């Protein structure tokens, strides 16, 4: 999914933010030798994403904690379903709890919303894509959650894919020149996607040799016309103002890809709770 | 608001995530000597938060960019209102755009949702509080946005406030013992808030000398009873399942504080666009 | 005590400072396969603090080293008493020795001095507090050592407690206004301590609703008057020029807290030596 | 003195420790637009060290602050003497104050103690040396302060000088073998110092070709005998238990160097205060 | 070329490696107030690359230094030609010199070797490509230098391009399955290059729909056959054992791309010297 | 050799550079549960250096990988000789492969070139030295590889040895003054090497008390004269333009040390391949 060290670093920063020089309450209210068992449970229907991330937060804070996932990413869970269990030092569990839940609830929230979009166009050819509209610092998790929800990833970042937008076109003086410049300068391993606003620009992009085209905020009939014009030779991506209400008719135009910023910038957190169900004191 | 270096580090990490070794498209499609003027505009009604953060992203990527904010944090903006302008190297503007917007849209989204809660209980004594349910790594911005929206901050993190929750109480063997331990171990500068689930626990907390009490998921009538019992001697905080629909009746119980996780974990991004309105090529 | 990673980072920085690209002498004088047993011994009477930190330095440099503490933090040790043993790679022991001792000697020095202050006022109601006058970068250790010596901690840093000092008062235009502003802006979980120089300011602080008051460099009789005036309603902290000679009479005034900068800024290092008592060569 | 970036990093870490996510009191009590002038003044006689470091703390927190040093490192200052002035944003001054003072007071304390040792042996040939017994993380400042006090530096760390101690000798099976190994393995730019406990070991060290010798905890007459034996061919360093009371008679033995751990591990902080002498509010 | 902060970080690490806690010689031999003018001069024919990087090293160590480049990257320089001038603090110039030269000489060495390959196939259709065989930590500079020398870049890293190699094929159970899996899982913005060893594998790759093919260590006649077979439909890359002696005949086969590991893993450093031509002492 | 953490950090940075947010090809073409055995083999004669570093790259990426070295550093290997084996997760092996090889091939290349220089002067008194002309960021590895090849290290960096060069001399106003200043300011553990260009400067250096002298770009007869003049009292180092062709006659002049920049700035990478020889799928 991602290199181990990348996740560790992300979690360390998150723990540093919340724990800092120490969890004052836990440090003062507990003796430190208590052990416990905690259960994470879904409080509403959701699609699971981030179970291993959730566990890794606890293990990063305290490698002696035991973690067991009871659902896999991509599975659905209903109200009351057990998602995971953590046991070991109670102080460690309580200190890590909030960061772990913040990540899990966000990831499940994204997966759950993604699944709704995917289900909405079930059986149609289009795929649901994410965007770069992720929470800064959390992109690897946000995009992973989209996949867990059944969506596909667009390029990860500015460094791994070419997307020529209106401003690049304006700066280069036209689609043809922009594509020409890019083709001459990027490694041969890069495809070139071009954003267009209307049929005229689509025509220019096709002539320029674009490898795929993003239809930016086009109307349904114009998108359908674009699909007809291109005839399946290159992929077409619908983008802009894609709501759950609208996604099915957008897919009906025959586009190959539908990118949805809301998946990662506007998903509500999934409702999940962590309850400590056993507490014991260890012998000193 | 926060130490300068904290924000710089956050922005550098965000830029590293999106830009990495370089913006392939901009690097290839532009000559590099183009300059431009870009305008950030609200595309729907929103409460502004993060204008300076927005500008700082551009300046962090390229200190030669000029930035002018046209709205102040906390102000409302309607569809089409100009929020800010950036001018200078077009390549720099295009490369920083997405990170800058991701932060601004998130912050405005939080401020806008917060304002709705605040407006909902306008004229009542209760204050709207945030929680620690923020996007990991972005807490300083999330909590700042809550203030811009008219809300108040709860403790920032585990290190700067004491909140004794059910699990701490279970570990200590009761509210009285938990409060006694904490009082004896934390600096005298800390207040002690205790979470209670019912009137019996509230009684225990009062006897133990809690400085404030969080009423966790209590019903309206029980909250009202708690308010009566306490008689204003210490602040009471309502918590759990606070929706826009319910917040006014919760406030009507007379509680002092109402904490709302949704402000930061479920706010939808505000709709804001950045448009390049001028492009020029500089002499070499 | 503190999150594991915080200590690890502190120790890594300390090792980087002393070891850098390598311990030239040990690397050249040893074969590398020698093992040894080393003993840390008190060379004068002291109060122990930092035994686990001491061990962690060795384990951070080389996780294969074995460490056994023979005293617990807070215990007294006399000349010749064994504090701890380390065994394993001799090269690792010799390379880590200085950093480990520098930390242990500093922490024991602070605990020992703290204990002297605490003993000086034994049986009286006042507590000995530390300050923020710690060695930059070592605050978690300095403040922990104070607790090991029997003292209590004041706020940890600027972020976790409010202390309104003369300059804040001057800027706000008076104690009343300063307290009012702070009360309105900080989370409800924060107490407000106000620094005063005389009885008039104390009166203002009380009227303004200060939660505790620091008596800054007041004379003994004035402190006694302050105690009488306040009548136990809020804690009073004596501060400024608190020497071992003076601490008992300061406590006699009836103040609740006595803060002593010298605990952390002027404690002499405790005298502790590390001796290698066995050396063997392992088979290659 | 040191590369700029090394000091910046040290100060950033120190500020992060004390300021973290923000100075709660200053943020709440001030409007933010106040400016001020602050003066650092000696409250007792001291030797100055760290004036530029002191200024750099303020500039690191806020580059718009103005700083003027009124004494140079190495100069003496008496009670009431002005050391430095800072002007600009009052909030910035108050937030940086404690870190700046913690560093300056520590450095002046070390310089002041060093000067006392140096003065004690004025006119004699021996030099006062520091050791590696510094506060972890602060070595560049501790050792600089020793120079400001008139002392000399021993090696900076394990990586820039060879000192063969008893444990290295034990591991190698004798002084001759230890020196032989080191000579064969370290770059030709390194000198070899050997620690000896008595005249017999001194003899071995001389035969082995040591470039300098540390006399570890030797008595005065034995040190004198060592000086006679060596006859000035290589430098001799006295080490161990060097107090202000004893240093003059140690120097009288004729040794070239006297190393004193106390300079950096047991110097009391110098007494210095920072007072804000003017406060104004800027126009918004 | 690359985000400013990426280069700054690289240079800071390089300076930390060489300068560490300080340049002992310069710190001791100079007063510190000397200024100087230094000139970087080619001592043999070379292709310039890295002039701005060279300057940035000096400015990173000391922002007050002035730097003027006298050649642009990509230009040729002959023996004795002036490349750049630096003026300002002599101590800063001397301390930064080695790191600056190490980077410049490496980059010019790579550009010079690249140019020889490019010149060798002048007028032919093939392009010279680099590989990921760069010095760890220096890839952005190594690959930039290839472009300065007239070569083209292959993918930058494992994250921005797909290259299915023999081991991926073995793991997937064949070229068809490997391509199928990758096509289904990577964003639509990625092209798929497949490495093949012979004509049979080439056939499989074409059937599977590879977007480009790397001919790994094929003989000249087999490469020519591959070119004929593909007929220009997708790019073919020759790879493995490409020497200056062989590159022209490889290009003659008609391949589109020729990748050469030696450009970055075996280029000799270019011969460049830095001479201080003026020294002055500033007034204190 | 070097502190464990230093190497870990270097490898993490190298992996971050190449792997970033993930190995797209391996992540998509493999299931993730495949295991494999890979063998590193010499493809031409070489001197081994870096076998443990090679293994550490794999273990850093994935601690569950097994690594066995089959040659020791400093040994020769011929074409086809097995150098090391790695087994475990195939995905991890493929992702780490390039970074591991880049480091190993560079280190073996340096060791192999060093051995050629060393062999060239076999039986003569001179030693082959490296310089600070290493790849920025890789100095610990470059210098280690020189030792593996039979060479010796010069000072590691600017902080651990004194070398007074022409510019220092110019700034100080002469050799005598430069040596005097340095002697007075650096710790007694530092030797002083002086760079000279001719016999007159050599004379000055001897009078000034230099501990060793570097003969910079002198002719053979002048070097021989220098050797005669010095008569073995201090080491002489030949430097500048030392090629394999010339090194033996330089050694014949009787100099003690010959420093060669090419060892680290111009060594060609050794030819080594990694082949996966077994692939299995684990049960889920």
Q: What string of DSSP letters covers E23-54?
A: -HHHHHHS-S-EEEEEEEEESS-EE---HHHH
CA distance D83 to chain B (A): 27
Highest mean pLDDT among A4-8, C16-20, E2-6: C16-20
Residue (of E48, E84, E80) closest to E65 by Cα position: E84
pTM, rounded to two decimals: 0.96
**How many Å apart are CA D256 and CA D128, to the nearest integer?**
9
Active-site annotation holder among A39, A155, A165, A248: A165
Is residue B269 predicted with pLDDT exceeding 70?
yes
Rounded percentage of chain C residues whose pLDDT exceeds 70? 99
Confidence (pLDDT) at A260 = 98
Confidence (pLDDT) at E283 = 66
**E12 at D interface, C-beta within 8 A:** yes
Grouping H, G, I as helix, E, B as strand and the rest as coil, residue C271 is coil
Element (H, E) at D40: strand D34-42
Is residue C74 predicted with pLDDT exceeding 70?
yes
Confidence (pLDDT) at C282 = 79
**E225 at B interface, C-beta within 8 A:** no
Q: Mean pLDDT throughout A138-145? A: 98
Is the CB of E161 less than 8 angstroms away from the CB of A189?
yes
Q: Active-site residue E229, yes or no?
A: no
Is the CB of C5 less than 8 angstroms away from the CB of A15?
yes
Is residue A237 predicted with pLDDT exceeding 80?
yes
CATH topology of domain D120-265: TIM Barrel (3.20.20)
Nearest CB neighbour to F135, from listed E29, E138, E186 = E138
Q: Active-site residue E195, yes or no?
A: yes
Is the CB of C22 less than 8 angstroms away from the CB of F1?
yes
How many angstroms from the chain centroid is the CA of residue C282?
Answer: 41
Confidence (pLDDT) at F2 = 84
Buried b (16+ CB within 10 A) or exposed e, C30-41: beeebbbbbbbb
Active-site annotation holder among E75, E81, E211, E216: E216
Residues of D whose CB is below 8 A from F257:
188
**D204 at C interface, C-beta within 8 A:** no
Q: Mean pLDDT throughout C258-269? A: 98
CA distance D188 to chain F (A): 7
Confidence (pLDDT) at B283 = 66
Count the helices and strands in chain E (H runs, E runs): 11, 12
CA distance B1 to chain D (A): 7
Residues of D whose CB is below 8 A from B6:
21-22
pLDDT digits (tens, 9 = 90+) for C138-164: 999 999 999 999 999 999 999 999 999
**How many Å apart are CA F29 and CA F279, to the nearest integer?**
14
**D61 at B interface, C-beta within 8 A:** yes
Residues of C whose CB is below 8 A from F1:
22, 27
Q: Which residues of chain F have pLDDT under 50?
A: none
**F2 at C interface, C-beta within 8 A:** yes
**A156 at E interface, C-beta within 8 A:** yes
Side-chain-side CA neighbours of residue E21 (13 Å): 23
Is the CB of D1 less than 8 angstroms away from the CB of E19?
no
**How many Å apart are CA D95 and CA D22, to the nearest integer?**
9
Grouping H, G, I as helix, E, B as strand and the rest as coil, residue A72 is coil
**A122 at C interface, C-beta within 8 A:** no
Residue (of F196, F195, F168, F202) closest to F182 by Cα position: F168
Q: Which of A21, A92, A95 to mutate to test the interface with C (most CBs of C within 10 A)?
A: A21
Confidence (pLDDT) at C281 = 83
Strands (E) located in D104-174: 127-129, 162-164
**F185 at E interface, C-beta within 8 A:** yes
Is the CB of F191 less than 8 angstroms away from the CB of D191?
yes
Confidence (pLDDT) at C283 = 66
**D21 at B interface, C-beta within 8 A:** yes
Residues of A whose CB is below 8 A from C4:
61-62
Q: Which residues of chain D have pLDDT under 70?
A: 283-284
Confidence (pLDDT) at C284 = 55
**B106 at A interface, C-beta within 8 A:** yes
Residue (of A86, A26, A27) closest to A57 by Cα position: A86
Confidence (pLDDT) at E281 = 83
Is residue B274 predicted with pLDDT exceeding 80?
yes
Residues of B whose CB is below 8 A from D65:
none
Grouping H, G, I as helix, E, B as strand and the rest as coil, residue C175 is helix
Residues of A whose CB is below 8 A from B172:
29-30
Is residue C167 predicted with pLDDT exceeding 70?
yes
**How many Å apart are CA E124 and CA F186, to the nearest integer?**
60
Kindly indicate the confidence band of residue C28, based on its pLDDT and cuts at 50, 70 and 90.
very high
**A188 at B interface, C-beta within 8 A:** no
CA distance E138 to chain F (A): 8
Q: Active-site residue A98, yes or no?
A: yes
pLDDT digits (tens, 9 = 90+) for B3-53: 888 999 999 999 999 999 999 999 999 999 999 999 999 999 999 999 999
ipTM surpasses cut 0.90: yes
CA torsion through residues D276, D278, D279, D282, sign: negative
Q: Which of D3, D59, D156 to mutate to test the interface with E (most CBs of E within 10 A)?
A: D3
Is residue A284 predicted with pLDDT exceeding 80?
no
Query: Are B65 and B93 within 8 A, CB to CB?
Result: yes
**D95 at B interface, C-beta within 8 A:** yes
Alpha helices in F37-123 (DSSP H): 51-61, 90-120
Is the CB of D172 less than 8 angstroms away from the CB of C30?
yes
Is the CB of F95 less than 8 angstroms away from the CB of A6?
no
With CA atoms as reference, the chain A residue closest to E129 would be: A187
Is the CB of F189 less than 8 angstroms away from the CB of D235?
no
pLDDT digits (tens, 9 = 90+) for C38-66: 999 999 999 999 999 999 999 999 999 99
CA distance C159 to chain A (A): 11
pLDDT digits (tens, 9 = 90+) for A163-207: 999 999 999 999 999 999 999 999 999 999 999 999 999 999 999
Is the CB of A159 less than 8 angstroms away from the CB of B13?
no
Which subunits have 3 or more CB–CB pairs within 8 Å of chain E? A, B, D, F
Q: Active-site residue A216, yes or no?
A: yes
Specify whether domain D4-117+268-281 bears CATH 3.90.1170.20: yes
**How many Å apart are CA F110 and CA D185, to the nearest integer?**
19
Q: Which of C1, C2, C3 to mutate to test the interface with A (most CBs of A within 10 A)?
A: C3
Is residue C225 predicted with pLDDT exceeding 90?
yes
**E139 at A interface, C-beta within 8 A:** no
- Specify the length of chain D in residues: 284
Is the CB of E62 less than 8 angstroms away from the CB of D157?
no
Is the CB of E19 less than 8 angstroms away from the CB of D4?
no
Q: Active-site residue B197, yes or no?
A: no
**B190 at D interface, C-beta within 8 A:** no
pLDDT digits (tens, 9 = 90+) for E200-253: 999 999 999 999 999 999 999 999 999 999 999 999 999 999 999 999 999 999
Is the CB of F15 less than 8 angstroms away from the CB of A1?
no
Please report, for chain D, the start and end positions of each structural domain, with discontinuous segments joined by +. 4-117+268-281, 120-265
**How many Å apart are CA C264 and CA D102, to the nearest integer?**
10
Confidence (pLDDT) at B281 = 83
DSSP string, F197-253: SSHHHHHHHHHHT-SEEEEES--HHHHHHHHHHHTTSS-EEEESS--TTTHHHHHHT
Residues of C whose CB is below 8 A from D134:
102
Residues of C whose CB is below 8 A from B191:
188-191
Grouping H, G, I as helix, E, B as strand and the rest as coil, residue D152 is strand
Q: Mean pLDDT throughout B169-182? A: 96
């Amino acid at each position: 999914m991602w290199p181990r060290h990348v996740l560790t670093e992300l979690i360390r920063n998150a723990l540093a933010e919340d724990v800092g020089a120490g969890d004052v309450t836990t440090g003062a209210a507990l003796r430190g030798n208590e052990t416990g068992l905690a259960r994470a449970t879904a409080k509403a229907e959701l699609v699971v994403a981030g179970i291993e991330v959730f566990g890794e937060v606890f293990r990063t804070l305290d490698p002696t904690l035991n973690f067991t996932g009871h659902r896999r990413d991509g599975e659905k869970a209903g109200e009351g379903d057990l998602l995971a269990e953590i046991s070991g030092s109670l102080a460690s569990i309580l200190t890590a709890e909030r960061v772990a839940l913040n990540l899990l609830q966000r990831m499940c929230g994204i997966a759950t919303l993604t699944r709704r979009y995917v289900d909405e166009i079930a059986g149609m050819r289009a795929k649901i894509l994410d965007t770069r509209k992720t929470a800064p610092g959390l992109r690897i998790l946000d995009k992973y959650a989209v996949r867990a929800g059944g969506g596909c990833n667009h390029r990860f970042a500015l460094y791994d894919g070419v997307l020529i937008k209106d401003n690049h076109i304006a700066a280069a003086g036209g689609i043809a020149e922009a594509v020409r410049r890019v083709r001459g300068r990027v490694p041969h391993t890069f495809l070139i996607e071009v954003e267009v606003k209307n049929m005229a620009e689509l025509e220019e992009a096709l002539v320029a040799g674009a490898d795929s085209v993003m239809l930016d905020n086009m109307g349904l009939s114009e998108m359908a016309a674009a699909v007809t014009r291109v005839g399946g030779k290159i992929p077409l991506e619908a983008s802009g103002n894609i709501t759950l209400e609208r996604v099915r008719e957008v897919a009906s135009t025959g586009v190959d890809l539908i990118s949805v910023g809301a998946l990662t910038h506007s998903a509500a957190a999934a409702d999940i709770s962590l309850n400590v169900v056993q507490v014991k004191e260890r012998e000193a």
